[in-house]
Structure 1
Amino acid sequence: MAALVYFRKISEDSELVRYKFGDDPDSFSRQLTMKKDPQTSVADDGLADYTFLKASRKINAMRAEAGQWPERGMSVS
């Protein structure tokens, strides 16, 4: 079974980065907040499911690779 998640940054300040995410890039259904230091994340709806974990891990991986928070992206497996 394939899993697909898209995400897009909606805001960033000195402490937090917020993303919308979901399985449809034209209609994001959820939001997550990433704390910059330490790099931890929380699903704004409280549901820490596979889709949330997939988005959060991909965002962190892209951040580590590029040295900045990604504007948008996707993860597929």
Structure 2
Amino acid sequence: MSESVETIEYLFGFDGDDAQRRLVLDTESRRARPVDGSIDYAFLKASRRINAMRHEMSAWPDTGKSAS
């Protein structure tokens, strides 16, 4: 994860050890975009989970996992 005033970048993927994709979240709008441009299930799941954790904790999460 990397963070600036306006954005936070997260690594994500289906296997925690293989989280090689990245997404960037705008901290004000809470909108995410995949760095590789691929909007797919993995990206949508990761971005929704990160935003849900932000809402629950009132802070951006350092790490997280989601199971289906």
TM-score (norm 1): 0.84
Deviations 1:23-62 (A, max 9, x none): 1212212000000111100000000100000000000000
Distance 1:33 1:41 in 2: 5
Partner of 2:43: 52
The structure with the largest helix share of the pair is 2
The percentage of aligned residue pairs carrying the same residue is 46
Distance 1:71 1:41 in 2: 16
Tell me which amino acid in the other structure corresponds to 1:20. Answer: L
Tell me, which stretches of 5 or more residues in structure 1 are unaligned?
1-9
RMSD: 0.8
Partner of 1:75: 66
TM-score (norm 2): 0.94
Matched pairs, number: 68
Q: Which has the higher contact order (CA 8 A, sep 6+)?
A: 1
Tell me, which stretches of 5 or more residues in structure 2 are unaligned?
none
Runs of 4+ in structure 1 off by over 3 angstroms are none
